[in-house]
């Protein structure tokens, strides 16, 4: 009896230092090179959608708010085309709206669903994050803020949709689309040429931390 | 003789008059042109949010060599603003594109010192009120036109909470030989608001993990002791909206600013603008200074590797992943995600550590007993070891399966959910009372159970070991152990088959030490020979069982209140009467047994609801600690955000009454005087999230930390990722974490 106890404590003495090491930074912001934070959010029809259910596929997170001119710039056709192209290649595309529900920009799930339908968006799901928790855990700042998560669940891109920060539709053609470039590289098994960039757009209307 | 004199005099008068006329008329003329909106000049664009006007300042004319300024003046409606060269978390800097005749060129905008506009957890840098963005104009020596036609295409983003991108075409004709000075005051004010360049001196930046330490010298003496604002000229270096700290040490000003997790540059020099914080009024901020500060030390790696996996394991996994991805470019379904392996490994180790957690105390006695029973028989030991393992693993699978099923059905549950239900707690209390009474010798199962079941138990001692495994799991597994917490959090999000594999690994890990011990002959040999001591030992073991009942009753008391606990105690007393009566002979047996069965039925009907009902949670109880001014407040997401917004760090104890490890930590590391003194010193707010009952809000908060069980300890600080401490807290660990604030 005694001996068994001793060996068990001996094992623990070996394991515990490793334990503290493992937990020292276990939870940090989902940044490039880090595992993407797990989340489950309702879509515009109220069905829960969880990031984990797309494990094994690349996932794009698109921070979304139709009230933002930068989002409308890219929904003039650019985002729909991107969504169609890559969902067709097995990528899951999640548009996430973190606008708080008392903001002028807020759209109810039904309104947002209708807006996406009207724009003929091809996102895998449009998700509601009114309390901003998922947005903040990804440190999403603006709409559109774009993230690419690889099939292993690691964030491989965070930043702007393209290289020209403007609200002008005419600039889309001249810009380098970082999301298309990144997804193409990811699917080809290459490292991403541009893993981060400065996201541009409107501030996400997060629920005020103080209220 | 006269003519030349006359002509020179007339010329002089003409020239003077001409200059005077030009000086008088030209600014008016340009303005008039602007107002008239003629094709040559269009100086004003008015939108609902902003009035934009192109202005010029050339007091000595615009001949080569003269100081000439152009500028776009933006007058914002109340609440609206436009952006500085680094707009902060969002927005776009105002952009000016000039079209000028050959021989004329413009420089960059001389940006006035900006203001900071906070918006929730984010912040922007820009201007409200009226701001003039001056641009220097250079006229080449060869330029020989009589005027300069300036064309400007400007775009700006006007934001309140919502943003509106706006733009306009402007044009203006600037006379080369006439003075343009109508807006001298505006330009003087704008140029005065441009930050002055300061020599670098001893100013330095030290990046560290997640933070930028700033130390500046040579700042204006008038600023000493005042709060300053810091504006990096480069976008995306810091987190503009996060709380940060600053201090004056004599003439030296220091600050610690959170770095952006999305930072992509690691510059050797960082241009910074520093100004007094919270400037009054509107327009540009109060005039600041600009420094090009050298960076000392190295920048933290931008893309750190996932930290949840040991390095060696990670290297092996990376190699695997590389092999997998090189085979099939698009990555077929064959590749198991890295995280699953990590979770399985963590679960196995975590399960083993679970045996060493205080959580296991309630079942220690039955485990010891099971082992001592067959002290002489090696093969029986092996069979028991296997049966125990099977019991544990199958129970883990069953609990895990149930948890996943209930979650899929929409329940917000987490690991340990079984003990969140008072019914289960009461049932376990009944079971442990019976085991205790049996060990104490009050009754034999043979007298109570139907004879077939009893004989099965007698014939198959391995069934005992199996049931011991089941019990051990039901009671001891609700707490999470180191390694286990992260694995569980992951498992919850995995597909069912993979999640069950994690639960199975947990069970295997928990059973492994016993299984191993049962297969090592030395262990069996070390046990004393069976003899009379076995009976004494068996009876002694009854008392730990009763202690477990006390603990379960305490848990039940937290869930359904004192009435529930009393009702259960009464039930246990009558139950004890029943099993004792069943062991009697003859008439007294039937009478007493009948009475106690009737009593049990009556109690079940009348008092049962007290046991199973959930008492109303007691809100808002603040628990004081041994240190004055430090107390535990009940957790809520709102309270947490409010405290963080005040800039206070927040420590959260995710706990539950049924989690023995939580109680242990609460009374040791978390009650330590040195820890509490540190808490007081750093102004840390203590919040306690109680998961004794089901609480979706707590489940959700745990999920955000990637956890699905208690104990979990997290330290939050505004602008920083939360820091999760280990499940078995030590004073040193907590103090180190607090010291890092």
Q: Cβ of A22 and B159 within 8 Å? A: no
A141: domain CATH number? Answer: 3.40.30.10
CA-closest candidate to residue B76, choices B50, B94, B114: B50
CA-closest candidate to residue A161, choices A98, A88, A68: A68
- Compare all CA atoms of chain B with the CA of A158 and give the residue at the minimum distance: B262
- 3-state SS class at B88: strand
Question: What residues in chain A have per-residue pLDDT under 70?
Answer: 1-30, 208-211
**A166 within some domain:** yes
B257 and B281 inside one domain: yes
The phi and psi torsions of B224 (rounded to 5 degrees) equal: -55, 135
User: Could you report the per-residue pLDDT of B40-52, keeping only the tens digit for each?
Assistant: 468 899 988 999 9
Q: How many residues does chain B have?
A: 741
The reported pLDDT for the residue numbered B333 is 34
The reported pLDDT for the residue numbered B450 is 55
User: Could you report the per-residue pLDDT of B337-360, keeping only the tens digit for each?
Assistant: 556 787 888 888 888 888 877 767
**A187 within some domain:** yes
Task: Return the half-sphere exposure (C-beta side, CA atoms, 13 A cut-off) of residue B400.
Answer: 30
Report the distance separating Cα B172 and Cα B52, nearest Å. Answer: 14
CA-closest candidate to residue B215, choices B227, B202, B228, B224: B202
B246 and B277 inside one domain: yes
- 3-state SS class at B117: strand
The reported pLDDT for the residue numbered B261 is 76
For range B437-458, the mean pLDDT: 65
Q: Please identify which residue in the block is written with the tokens 């409606």.
A: B77
The better pLDDT of the pair B78, B627 is held by: B78
Nearest to A23 among B302, B330, B726 (CB): B726
**B231 within some domain:** yes
**B308 within some domain:** no
The reported pLDDT for the residue numbered B588 is 85
Q: Cβ of B119 and A203 within 8 Å? A: yes
| Nearest chain B Cα distance for residue A120, angstroms | 24
Q: Please identify which residue in the block is written with the tokens 């639960």.
A: B503
User: Could you report the per-residue pLDDT of B71-95, keeping only the tens digit for each?
Assistant: 999 999 998 999 999 999 888 899 9
How many domains is chain B partitioned into structurally? 4
- Is the distance from CB of B527 to CB of B369 less than 8 angstroms? no
Report the distance separating Cα B103 and Cα B218, nearest Å. Answer: 40
User: Could you report the per-residue pLDDT of A42-81, keeping only the tens digit for each?
Assistant: 999 999 999 999 988 999 999 999 989 999 999 999 999 9
- Is the distance from CB of B129 to CB of B76 less than 8 angstroms? yes
B261 and B402 inside one domain: no
Most distant CA pair in chain B, distance: 160
**B317 within some domain:** no
User: Could you report the per-residue pLDDT of B264-287, keeping only the tens digit for each?
Assistant: 777 889 999 999 988 888 889 989
The better pLDDT of the pair B732, B704 is held by: B732
Q: Cβ of B307 and A208 within 8 Å? A: no
The token pair that represents B516 in the structure block: 């191993």
Report the distance separating Cα B720 and Cα B258, nearest Å. Answer: 7
- Compare all CA atoms of chain A with the CA of B261 and give the residue at the minimum distance: A31
- Is the distance from CB of A157 to CB of A182 less than 8 angstroms? yes
**B426 within some domain:** yes
**A7 within some domain:** no
Report the distance separating Cα B390 and Cα B396, nearest Å. Answer: 10
Pairing between strand B163-175 and B95-99? unpaired
B516 and B632 inside one domain: no
| Nearest chain B Cα distance for residue A109, angstroms | 19
Report the distance separating Cα B600 and Cα B607, nearest Å. Answer: 10
Q: Cβ of A152 and B308 within 8 Å? A: no
B97 and B240 inside one domain: no
Across the A:B interface, residue pairs with CB atoms under 8 Å apart total 225
Report the distance separating Cα B56 and Cα B183, nearest Å. Answer: 7
**A3 within some domain:** no
The reported pTM is 0.49
Instruction: Please give, one letter per residue, the 3-state secondary structure of B349-409.
Output: HHHHHHCCCHHHHHHHHHHHHHHHHCCCCHHHHHHHHHHHHHHHHHHHHHHHHHHHHHHHC
The reported pLDDT for the residue numbered B451 is 54
- 3-state SS class at B727: coil
Torsion, Cα A158 A87 A101 A200, to 10 degrees, reads 30
Q: Cβ of B337 and A151 within 8 Å? A: yes
**B315 within some domain:** no
| Nearest chain A Cα distance for residue B560, angstroms | 31
**A9 within some domain:** no
Report the distance separating Cα A203 and Cα B212, nearest Å. Answer: 24
Contacts B305 to A, Cβ<8 Å: 33
Q: Cβ of A195 and B264 within 8 Å? A: yes
Query: How sure is the predictor about B374, in pLDDT bands with cuts at 50, 70 and 90?
Result: low
Mutation to test the B interface, candidates A35, A46, A103, most B Cβ within 10 Å: A35
- Is the distance from CB of B575 to CB of B435 less than 8 angstroms? no
User: Could you report the per-residue pLDDT of B114-133, keeping only the tens digit for each?
Assistant: 999 887 778 899 999 999 99
Q: Cβ of B483 and A19 within 8 Å? A: yes
**CB contact residues (below 8 A), chain A span 87-126, against chain B:** 90, 103-105
Report the run of H or E that residue B258 belongs to, with start and end. strand B252-258
Q: Cβ of B641 and A210 within 8 Å? A: yes
Distances in Å between the Cα of B77 and the Cα atoms of B161, B240, B543 are 13, 24, 78
The better pLDDT of the pair A103, B645 is held by: A103
Q: Cβ of B120 and A209 within 8 Å? A: yes
B178 and B231 inside one domain: no
> Which alpha helices (DSSP H) does B409-495 contain, by range?
422-440, 445-448, 451-459, 461-476, 484-493
Nearest to B705 among A4, A27, A67 (CB): A27
Torsion, Cα B317 B319 B322 B328, to 10 degrees, reads -80
Q: Cβ of B262 and A166 within 8 Å? A: no
The better pLDDT of the pair A178, B434 is held by: A178
CA-closest candidate to residue B127, choices B183, B170, B196, B77: B77
For range B221-246, the mean pLDDT: 88
**A10 within some domain:** no
Q: Cβ of B483 and A201 within 8 Å? A: no
B184 and B246 inside one domain: no
Question: A56-89 burial, b for 16+ CB within 10 Å, e for fewer?
Answer: bbbbbbbbbbbbbbbbbbbbeebbbebbeebeee
CA-closest candidate to residue B236, choices A166, A79, A193, A165: A165
**A161 within some domain:** yes
Q: Which domain holds residue B214?
A: 202-294
Query: How sure is the predictor about B530, in pLDDT bands with cuts at 50, 70 and 90?
Result: low
B560 and B435 inside one domain: yes
Query: How sure is the predictor about B448, in pLDDT bands with cuts at 50, 70 and 90?
Result: low
Report the distance separating Cα A36 and Cα A183, nearest Å. Answer: 16
User: Could you report the per-residue pLDDT of B572-604, keeping only the tens digit for each?
Assistant: 999 999 888 888 888 888 888 889 899 889 888
Pairing between strand B685-690 and B650-655? parallel
B550 and B669 inside one domain: no
Cβ neighbours around B168 below 10 Å, total: 20
**CB contact residues (below 8 A), chain A span 34-93, against chain B:** 34-35, 37-38, 40, 48, 50-53, 55-56, 67-70, 90
Mutation to test the B interface, candidates A4, A42, A192, most B Cβ within 10 Å: A4
Report the distance separating Cα B214 and Cα B246, nearest Å. Answer: 9
Report the distance separating Cα B58 and Cα B19, nearest Å. Answer: 14
Contacts B410 to A, Cβ<8 Å: 48
**B303 within some domain:** no
CA-closest candidate to residue B491, choices B419, B404, B420: B404
- Compare all CA atoms of chain B with the CA of A16 and give the residue at the minimum distance: B482
Please give the full DSSP string across A156-203, using - where no structure is assigned: EEEE-SBS---S-TTHHHHS-BHHHHHHHHHHTTPPPS--B----SEE
How many domains is chain A partitioned into structurally? 1
Q: Cβ of A137 and B704 within 8 Å? A: yes
CA-closest candidate to residue B604, choices B486, B427, B357: B427
Contacts A48 to B, Cβ<8 Å: 410
**CB contact residues (below 8 A), chain A span 161-190, against chain B:** 165-168, 187-189
- Residue B231's contacts (CB-CB under 8 Å, 6 or more residues apart) are B84, B86, B113, B114, B116, B125, B272, B273, B274, B275, B288
Contacts A92 to B, Cβ<8 Å: none
Contacts A52 to B, Cβ<8 Å: 493-495
Q: Which domain holds residue A183?
A: 29-203
Counting Cβ atoms within 10 Å, is residue B607 exposed (0-12), middle (13-18) or buried (19+)? middle
The phi and psi torsions of B270 (rounded to 5 degrees) equal: -125, 115
- Is the distance from CB of B485 to CB of B358 less than 8 angstroms? no
B719: domain CATH number? Answer: 3.40.30.10
**B330 within some domain:** no
Q: Cβ of B165 and A167 within 8 Å? A: yes
B385 and B507 inside one domain: yes
| Nearest chain B Cα distance for residue A117, angstroms | 23
Share of chain B above pLDDT 90, in %: 22
B565 and B674 inside one domain: no
Query: How sure is the predictor about B394, in pLDDT bands with cuts at 50, 70 and 90?
Result: very high
State the complex-level ipTM.
Answer: 0.71
B631 and B525 inside one domain: no
**A12 within some domain:** no
> Which alpha helices (DSSP H) does chain A contain, by range?
2-23, 69-74, 78-87, 109-118, 133-137, 171-174, 178-187
- Residue B32's contacts (CB-CB under 8 Å, 6 or more residues apart) are none
Report the distance separating Cα B262 and Cα A182, nearest Å. Answer: 16
């Amino acid at each position: 009896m005694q001996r068994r106890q001793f060996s068990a404590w001996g094992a623990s003495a070996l394991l515990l230092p490793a334990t503290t090491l493992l937990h020292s930074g276990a939870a940090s912001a989902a940044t490039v090179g880090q595992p993407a934070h797990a989340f489950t959010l309702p879509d515009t029809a109220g069905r829960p959608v969880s990031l984990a259910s797309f494990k094994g596929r690349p996932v794009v997170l698109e921070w979304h708010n139709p009230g933002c001119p930068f989002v409308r710039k890219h929904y003039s056709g650019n985002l729909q085309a991107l969504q169609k192209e890559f969902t067709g290649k097995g990528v899951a595309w999640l548009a996430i709206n973190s606008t708080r529900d008392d903001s002028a920009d807020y759209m109810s799930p039904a309104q947002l669903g209708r807006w996406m339908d009207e724009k003929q968006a091809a996102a895998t799901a449009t998700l509601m994050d009114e309390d901003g928790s998922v947005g903040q855990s990804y440190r999403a700042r603006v709409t559109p803020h774009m993230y690419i998560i690889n099939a292993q669940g690691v964030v491989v891109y965070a930043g702007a949709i393209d290289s020209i920060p403007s609200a002008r539709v005419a600039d889309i053609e001249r810009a380098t689309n970082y999301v298309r470039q990144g997804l193409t590289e990811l699917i080809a098994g290459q490292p991403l040429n541009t893993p981060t960039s400065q996201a541009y757009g409107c501030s996400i209307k997060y629920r005020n931390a103080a209220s | 003789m006269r003519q030349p004199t006359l002509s020179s005099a007339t010329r002089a008068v003409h020239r003077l008059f001409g200059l005077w006329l030009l000086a008088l008329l030209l600014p008016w003329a340009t303005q008039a042109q602007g107002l008239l909106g003629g094709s040559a000049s269009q100086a004003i664009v008015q939108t609902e949010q902003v009035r934009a006007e192109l202005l010029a300042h050339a007091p000595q004319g615009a001949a080569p060599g003269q100081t000439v300024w152009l500028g776009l003046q933006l007058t914002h409606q109340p609440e609206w603003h436009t952006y500085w060269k680094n707009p902060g978390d969002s927005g776009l800097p105002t952009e000016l594109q000039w079209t000028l005749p050959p021989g004329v060129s413009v420089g960059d905008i001389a940006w006035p010192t900006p203001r900071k506009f906070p918006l929730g957890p984010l912040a922007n840098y820009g201007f409200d009120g009226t701001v003039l963005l001056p641009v220097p104009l250079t006229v080449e020596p060869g330029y020989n036109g009589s005027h300069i036609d300036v064309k400007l295409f400007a775009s700006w983003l006007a934001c309140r909470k919502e943003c509106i991108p706006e733009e306009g075409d402007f044009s203006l004709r600037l006379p080369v030989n006439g003075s343009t000075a109508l807006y001298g005051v505006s330009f003087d004010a704008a140029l005065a608001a441009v930050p002055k360049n300061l020599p670098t001196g001893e100013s330095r930046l030290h990046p560290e993990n997640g933070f930028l330490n700033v130390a500046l010298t040579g700042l204006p003496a008038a600023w000493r002791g005042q709060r300053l604002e810091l504006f990096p000229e480069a976008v995306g270096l810091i987190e503009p909206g996060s709380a940060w700290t600053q201090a004056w040490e004599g003439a030296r000003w220091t600050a610690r600013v959170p770095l952006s997790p999305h930072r992509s540059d690691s510059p050797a020099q960082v241009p910074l603008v520093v100004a007094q914080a919270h400037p009054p009024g509107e327009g540009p901020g109060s005039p600041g200074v600009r420094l090009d500060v050298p960076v000392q030390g190295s920048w933290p790696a931008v893309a750190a590797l996932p930290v949840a996996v040991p390095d060696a394991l990670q290297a092996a996994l990376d190699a695997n992943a590389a092999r997998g991805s090189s085979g099939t470019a698009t990555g077929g379904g064959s590749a198991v995600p890295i995280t699953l392996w990590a979770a399985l490994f963590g679960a196995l180790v975590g399960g083993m550590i679970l045996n060493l957690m205080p959580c296991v105390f309630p079942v220690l006695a039955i485990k010891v007993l099971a082992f001592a029973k067959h002290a002489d028989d090696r093969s029986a030991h092996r069979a028991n070891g296997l049966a125990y393992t099977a019991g544990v693993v199958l129970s883990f699978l069953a609990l895990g399966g149930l948890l996943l099923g209930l979650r899929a059905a929409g329940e917000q549950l987490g690991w340990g959910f079984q003990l969140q239900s008072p019914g289960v707690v009461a049932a376990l209390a009944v079971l442990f009372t019976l085991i205790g009474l049996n060990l104490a010798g009050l009754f034999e199962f043979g007298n109570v159970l139907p004879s077939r079941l009893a004989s099965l138990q007698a014939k198959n001692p391995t069934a005992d070991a199996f049931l011991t495994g089941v019990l051990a799991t039901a009671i001891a597994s609700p707490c999470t152990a180191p390694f286990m917490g992260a694995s569980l959090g992951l498992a919850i999000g995995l597909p069912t088959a993979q999640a069950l594999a994690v639960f199975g690994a947990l069970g295997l890990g928990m059973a492994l030490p016993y299984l191993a011990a049962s297969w090592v002959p030395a262990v069996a040999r070390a046990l004393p020979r069976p003899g009379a001591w076995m009976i004494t030992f068996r009876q002694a073991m009854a008392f730990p069982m009763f202690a477990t009942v006390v603990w379960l009753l305490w848990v039940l008391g937290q869930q359904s209140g004192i009435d529930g606990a009393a009702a259960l105690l009464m039930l246990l007393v009558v139950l004890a009467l029943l099993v004792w009566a069943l062991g009697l002979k003859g008439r007294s047996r039937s009478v007493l047994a009948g009475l106690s069965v009737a009593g049990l039925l009556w109690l079940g009907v009348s008092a049962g609801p007290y046991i199973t009902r959930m008492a109303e949670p007691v809100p808002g109880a603040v628990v004081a600690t041994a240190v004055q001014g430090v107390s535990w407040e009940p957790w809520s997401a709102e309270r947490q955000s409010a405290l963080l917004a005040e800039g206070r760090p927040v420590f959260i104890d995710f706990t539950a009454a049924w989690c023995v490890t939580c109680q242990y930590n609460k009374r040791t590391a978390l009650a330590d005087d040195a820890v509490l003194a540190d808490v007081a010193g750093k102004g840390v707010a203590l919040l306690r999230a109680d998961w004794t009952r089901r609480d979706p809000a707590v489940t959700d908060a745990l999920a955000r930390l990637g956890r699905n069980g208690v104990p979990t300890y997290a330290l939050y600080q505004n602008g920083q990722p939360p820091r999760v401490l280990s499940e078995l807290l030590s004073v040193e660990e907590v103090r180190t974490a607090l010291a890092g604030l």
